[in-house]
Structure 1
Amino acid sequence: MLKDLNLNAMNHFEAVARLGGISKAAEELGVSPSAVSQQIRQFEQQFGVRLFRREKRKLTLTDDGERLFQTTTQAFRMMRDVRQAIQRQREARHFILRVSPSFAVRFLSPRLKGFLDEQPNWQVRIDAAPDFSDFETEVVDLDLRYGEGGWSGLHQEAVVHDMVFPMCSPAYLEELRSKSDDPIGQLRHAQLIDSVKTHYRWDFWLAKYGVMGERMVYPLRFDRSSMALQLAADGAGVVLESSTLALNELESGALVPLSTAFDAIRFPAYWLVCPSRHTSRRIVRLFSDWIREAGREHDARAAALMGKLGLRIDNQQGRLLPGEEFSRD
């Protein structure tokens, strides 16, 4: 049976047969000639046949030895080729990251050149997809996930916080103010835009502020935050969305808070996630350090903006919508 084969002896046999002598084989294998001779004797004893003819310090293969050599040298050559391919792949320095589409476009892409400039020798592949990686079946180094943590069996670290509040275009806000001076009344007149894959949606937010009624409906629903934000900036309604994804529009004034009467709900939203074994990989550590710093800079920038806009920050911790999982667009 295969498990009974002495693979070390087979390796010595293949080297002697391929190189044509014990001394050359010993040099290649990094052992003494006597050690090679001993392995050859053990290998012949295992097969019960002579594999070499010994004539005046010269070794030639017997018929049985030739048959065995043709098989073993092909097997070892294939293994050497595979090993070299694996080494070349490692030397290529590939990094594969999965991230939600809107976050990839609005947060990661504008900052990514900084990371690439710091690590020019790495080949980076980014999959912008809403589904989480299955690390047991997919080749992915790291996920940058949206959610609230708690993924069983995986290393996880929050790196970017989110702040959520109702926002709209300045023109649409003026239109609502012409109908009511009360922010709750303005909401009752507003067309609500729903981002269906966000952590905080209108159902939760309206209940939190006690805003109920038959007119509180949101006929516009999008599974891409970028689309919902663009529609709000175009003056189509009020969106309950993320300061992280809308930061540029908020800073430029294309979007404004509906009212300073409503707090910005702050929570850890974007997480580095991977199996614990991946954290020993150099590229995972390098990217983690970089995105951690980018997250700190962003959080400080967003907090300063909230102060400029006159919004209070409501820090939230823990699960508020039991049983739901979120796969950010």
Structure 2
Amino acid sequence: MRDINLKSTEYFEAVARLGSVTRAAEELGVSPSAVSQQIRLLESQFGVRLFRREKRRLVLTLDGDRLFQTTTQAFAAIRNARSAIVRQRDLRNLTIRVSPSFGVRWLGPRIAAFASTSPEWNIRIDATPDFTVFETEAVDLDLRYGLGGWTGLTVNPVMNDLVLPFCSPDYLRTLQAISPDPVEQLAHARLIDSVKMLYRWDLWLAANRINLPGLSYQFRFDRSSMSIELARQGGGLALDSLTLCLPELERGELVPFCPAFPVIDFAAYWLVCPPKHFNRRIVSRFSSWLEEAAQEHEVRARALLTGLGCHFREGLGPELIGPGPDTVP
């Protein structure tokens, strides 16, 4: 590359593309004589003629055309890269990290509504179970699933998790045909284990004073979205978050296993970021929008469950283990 005169090559590409020394000079912001001089230098370096003049027109020679085909692609790529870099530098970006299932099933269907209120911003959703290391990663905020308490960060509650066993209507009828006793139904059910849930089957069974000898799981998933989908298809009984499957319950595709068992109700979704990130107007704007969207969701979810005969047991996640309610069936 040190043997190639890039300036002369740039001038050559402009002349060949525009078909005129004068027009090339105007594009490059130099005089026509400067362009002609650079063309002569390049021809001297290559030892060939790159142009020939026909009736006051410049026409590429065979060697000139070969060089032009390569240089015009290269300079076009450089110009495109430069434009992309400039655009990216000037764009306004909001980067959010979120757990995959929450991102797909809750945030995904709603993010367009937020985007419509902030059309000047580009929004990137990074769906991963890993929390952001804010000191080294260019992420504005996390929407975290957990029990809170992350030190050194602003941790704002978004909404509670509502956890209950559910399945498809057909699968529930299959269980009810075995026995009218919900505990006996559980003993015959295919239990779907969502391994990333804070509140899993072993905690739920202990909290409700249910002992299932030889407890096993025919299905285990590290994504709640997979557990929910299998339950919707009639594959078994899932213990998971209503936050992630409210539409399916509203449509009747999923139903509570037994409303007599209380819905586990605890704070589990949080907006997390360094305090200074709230100095960005877009972060504060998103936080306010998220609070409203989460509140609307919780009102819908609680109303639906109440209408289905469910009641709630509040607590602090896994600390809920203790004596079960007196109304355990």
> Does the 8 Å contact 2:199/2:318 carry over to 1?
no
Distance 1:154 1:243, change over 3 A: same
Which runs of 5 or more residues in structure 1 are unaligned? 1-85, 323-329
> Does the 8 Å contact 1:102/1:224 carry over to 2?
yes
Structure-1 residue corresponding to 2:285:
286
AA aligned to 2:126 is: D
Give the fraction of aligned pairs with identical amino acids, expressed as a percent.
54
Q: Counterparts of 2:275 and 2:306 in 1: how far apart (Å)? A: 38
Structure-2 residue corresponding to 1:148:
147
Q: Counterparts of 1:264 and 1:205 in 2: how far apart (Å)? A: 10
Can you list the C-alpha shifts for 1:256-289, whole angstroms capped at 9, x where unaligned? Answer: 1110111111111110000111111111101001
Distance 1:174 1:164, change over 3 A: same
Taking the TM superposition and a 5 Å limit, the aligned residue runs for 1:125-204 are 125-204=124-203
Secondary structure of the 2:305 match is helix
Deviation at residue 210 of structure 1 after TM alignment: 1.5
AA aligned to 2:303 is: A
Q: Counterparts of 1:179 and 1:215 in 2: how far apart (Å)? A: 19
Q: Counterparts of 1:94 and 1:265 in 2: how far apart (Å)? A: 37
> Does the 8 Å contact 1:260/1:310 carry over to 2?
yes
AA aligned to 2:290 is: I
Structure-1 residue corresponding to 2:221:
222
Taking the TM superposition and a 5 Å limit, the aligned residue runs for 1:220-299 are 220-299=219-298
Taking the TM superposition and a 5 Å limit, the aligned residue runs for 1:47-62 are none
AA aligned to 1:156 is: V
> Does the 8 Å contact 1:168/1:235 carry over to 2?
yes
Compute the TM-score of the two structures, normalised by the length of structure 2: 0.69
Can you list the C-alpha shifts for 1:208-230, whole angstroms capped at 9, x where unaligned? Answer: 11211324321210001111111
Can you list the C-alpha shifts for 1:158-181, whole angstroms capped at 9, x where unaligned? Answer: 112210010011111111111111
Structure-2 residue corresponding to 1:27:
none
Can you list the C-alpha shifts for 1:102-133, whole angstroms capped at 9, x where unaligned? Answer: 11111111111111110000011110111100
Structure-1 residue corresponding to 2:73:
none
Can you list the C-alpha shifts for 1:85-104, whole angstroms capped at 9, x where unaligned? Answer: x9986742111100111111
Q: Counterparts of 1:90 and 1:280 in 2: how far apart (Å)? A: 20
Q: Counterparts of 2:262 and 2:174 in 1: how far apart (Å)? A: 22
Q: Counterparts of 2:238 and 2:259 in 1: how far apart (Å)? A: 15
Which runs of 5 or more residues in structure 2 are unaligned? 1-84, 322-329
Q: Counterparts of 1:180 and 1:252 in 2: how far apart (Å)? A: 26
Q: Counterparts of 2:178 and 2:92 in 1: how far apart (Å)? A: 59
Is 1:301 aligned to 2:300, yes or no?
yes
> Does the 8 Å contact 1:183/1:261 carry over to 2?
no
Distance 1:267 1:321, change over 3 A: closer
AA aligned to 2:239 is: L
Compute the TM-score of the two structures, normalised by the length of structure 1: 0.69
AA aligned to 1:184 is: V
Q: Counterparts of 1:188 and 1:178 in 2: how far apart (Å)? A: 13
Secondary structure of the 1:320 match is helix
Deviation at residue 321 of structure 1 after TM alignment: 8.4
Is 1:105 aligned to 2:104, yes or no?
yes
> Does the 8 Å contact 2:198/2:317 carry over to 1?
no
AA aligned to 2:250 is: E
Q: Counterparts of 2:251 and 2:109 in 1: how far apart (Å)? A: 16
Secondary structure of the 2:178 match is coil
Once superposed, what is the RMSD of the aligned Cα atoms? 2.0
Distance 1:213 1:318, change over 3 A: closer
Q: Counterparts of 2:214 and 2:255 in 1: how far apart (Å)? A: 23
Is 1:117 aligned to 2:116, yes or no?
yes
AA aligned to 1:198 is: M
Q: Counterparts of 2:247 and 2:107 in 1: how far apart (Å)? A: 13
Q: Counterparts of 2:172 and 2:287 in 1: how far apart (Å)? A: 40
Taking the TM superposition and a 5 Å limit, the aligned residue runs for 1:36-47 are none
AA aligned to 2:141 is: L
> Does the 8 Å contact 1:188/1:215 carry over to 2?
no
